[in-house]
Structure 1
Amino acid sequence: MADFDLESLVHLEQTFYDDGYKDGFTHGRIHGLIEGRALGREKGFEMWEELGFYEGFAVIWKAVYVRQGRQDDRGFHHINQLLDLISQFPTANPSVETADVDISKLFRQIRSRYKALCATLGVKSSLRANASSSISAEEDIPEPPQNVGSGHTVWELSDAAKVKAKPGQDLSF
């Protein structure tokens, strides 16, 4: 009976808790790395898909401006700044210690420049990265103009397009 330690019985629950915590922490670390990599891959793909859209948009409009000889226009300036910001975006995963680029800040600047370019061009900006959005792609596409009686073309109003009209309640201008 001299070898029996009563103190170990008092802390028996804490001992089991500590052992379970260590095992759970190790197990959680492994699964956290796996899930983190999968989430990082998914979000990284979404970012690059959005950046690719912006770059393609800018390159196409730049070609239009060059073809029209409008290199001194405000839109051309926005295009060049957008392409410059996109070229600054890192193409490799920077480590935390050497990260000299604030990715979220740069991404916000790119989005802002894209919105400014769209406003300058008179184009509706679309910031959806992919079609998995809760809004269907057809909701943003306006209906084609309708010819009304005297040959005038009328576009539907955005609020009127959302409200379903009852048969026989067509509006004409």
Structure 2
Amino acid sequence: MTDNFDLESLVHLEQIFYDSGYQEGHAHGRIHGLIEGRALGREKGFEMWEELGFYEGFALLWKSVSILQGREDDRALNHIKHLLTLISEFPRANPSVIDKEGSVDVPKLFRQIRSRYKALCAAVGIRPSLRAAEKSLPDDDQGMDGGSMSDQQTNGKEPIWTVDNRPGDPIGS
């Protein structure tokens, strides 16, 4: 009976159970990490594209305004052209899948796009706002920045522009 029983295996019994639990936990964590990573990536990707869409729409709007006003050599059009070029360079596929030679530095490109947006805002004479990236409130009467229109009027800040302004009217009246 002593030949079948190995006393030495009892000395390492705790380590054997620890290693077994670690292996199972690691495999389980890997699966859940992939699921959570994909969900987070989807959420952050949507936020980035929402912000890029805001910048692109903003640039296209001011391009149309500049063309309608006949200012075709305006410095704002130069900023618009560069902003739209930067946005078109933004990767449309997951950069980790692209080969290393063709990879794009996404944070650097995003900083350049934001900088060009701010320069465009300065050229057209409005306050830059990164509100497209902020989460909006679930209220129905929201302004462009996610707050309610009554909040804009009661906190002493004038809105950047109103929909019913005509050319030549002072801003905020």
d(CA) in 2 for partners of 1:63 and 1:34?
43
1:13-162 aligned at under 5 Å gives the runs: 13-96=14-97, 98-99=99-100, 100-128=103-131, 129-132=133-136, 137-138=147-148, 142-143=157-158
Task: Give secondary structure in 1 for the equivalent of 2:49.
Answer: helix
- Please say which structure displays the higher CA radius of gyration: 1
d(CA) in 1 for partners of 2:80 and 2:48?
19
Cα offset for 1:131?
Answer: 3.5
Cα offset for 1:143?
Answer: 4.1
Gaps in structure 1 of 5+ consecutive residues:
145-152, 156-173
Q: Provide the TM-score with structure 2 as the length reference.
A: 0.76
Q: Provide the TM-score with structure 1 as the length reference.
A: 0.76
Share of identical aligned residues, percent?
67
Task: Give secondary structure in 1 for the equivalent of 2:126.
Answer: coil
Number of residue pairs matched by the alignment: 145
Residues 63, 77 of structure 2: 8 Å contact kept: yes
Task: Give secondary structure in 2 for the equivalent of 1:22.
Answer: helix
Query: Residue type of the partner of 1:57?
Result: F
Residues 78, 113 of structure 1: 8 Å contact kept: yes
Structure 1 residue runs of 4 or more that deviate by more than 3 Å after TM superposition: 130-133, 138-144
| RMSD after superposition | 2.2
